[in-house]
Amino acid sequence: MLKAWSSIRVFRIAVPAAVGVLFLAGCTNADAPTDAGSSPTRAASPSATPAATAPLAAASPTPTPSPTPTAPPMVVDDPSTWTIDFTTLGPLTRGTPASEATPSMTAFTTVVQEGCTWITGYDKPEFPSIWLVATQESKVSAQIVLQKWGGAAPVAPNSPRTLEGIGIGSTDEELTTAYPIVSVVEGTYGPHYSLTDGAGNYLNFAVTDEGFIDTIVLDTTSELASEYCG
């Protein structure tokens, strides 16, 4: 802060040494005639200079919030329009029986593997496969698996995606950019990525050696199963 200096000034009057008379400010000659009713005029005091003030800092511009991504309109027969969330994949909801999901999957071929009746699969050419994985004791889907093992690139344009654009065929760099808080989890066959909503729901991502996502699992744990039928 700037300091204001006082503007009061001291005046000194030099007089010859021979006179030897000291004139004091404010004294008058008693013998000098004065006009009736007149009074001595007092010299005006010098005015104080206003203290300098620092300029106000310019207000910072208010940042514009980024728009919240919104899900595109969903076409049930076109999985490329489906949105992946922590508990839903398009029209499918984790925790519901496969019998309730099948009517929405008319564009797919339904596949139930012999010996693994708790898994219901849905296949469609040029699209990732979808599996509803229930426990052996229940027909309720505990996991929803979206996968294209061994060749993510051909189906990538038709993959469902998260609101941030992550789907089958996305790169691990795109994943970590879209979700900076995604965790790396050591699995049975190597590391994978896991993302949670903090409410017990997880999105797990398996990545190929070339760095492409080939599996996305909606689950209640950050673990990625090494196999589903065995």
pLDDT band at 57 (very low <50, low <70, confident <90, very high): low
**What residues form DSSP beta bridges with 147?**
129, 215
Q: Is the dihedral of CA 74, 80, 83, 88 positive or negative?
A: positive
3-state SS assignment for residue 13 = coil
pLDDT band at 110 (very low <50, low <70, confident <90, very high): very high
- What's the confidence (pLDDT) of residue 6? 37
Q: Region 43-62: what's the mean pLDDT?
A: 54
- What's the confidence (pLDDT) of residue 129? 93
Q: Region 96-113: what's the mean pLDDT?
A: 87
CB contact at 8 A, 78 and 104: no
Question: What are the boundaries of each domain within the chain?
Answer: 84-219
- List, for residues 191-211, the tens digit of each pLDDT value: 999 999 999 999 999 999 999
- What's the confidence (pLDDT) of residue 121? 92
Percent of residues, the chain, with pLDDT higher than 90: 45
- What's the confidence (pLDDT) of residue 90? 95
Instruction: Reduce the secondary structure of the chain to three states and give it as a string.
Output: CCCCCCCCCCCCCCCCCCCCCCCCCCCCCCCCCCCCCCCCCCCCCCCCCCCCCCCCCCCCCCCCCCCCCCCCCCECCEHHHCEECCCEECCEECCCEHHHHHHHCCCCEEEECCCCCCEEEEECCCCCEEEEEECCCCCEEEEEEEECCCCCHHHHHHCCECCCCCECCCEHHHHHHHCCCCEEEEECCEEEEEEECCCCCEEEEEECCCCEEEEEEEECCCCCCCCCCC
Q: Region 97-117: what's the mean pLDDT?
A: 86
- What's the confidence (pLDDT) of residue 60? 58
Ranking 12-26, 46-60, 61-75, 130-144 by mean pLDDT, the lowest is 12-26
- What's the confidence (pLDDT) of residue 39? 47
Q: Region 5-22: what's the mean pLDDT?
A: 37
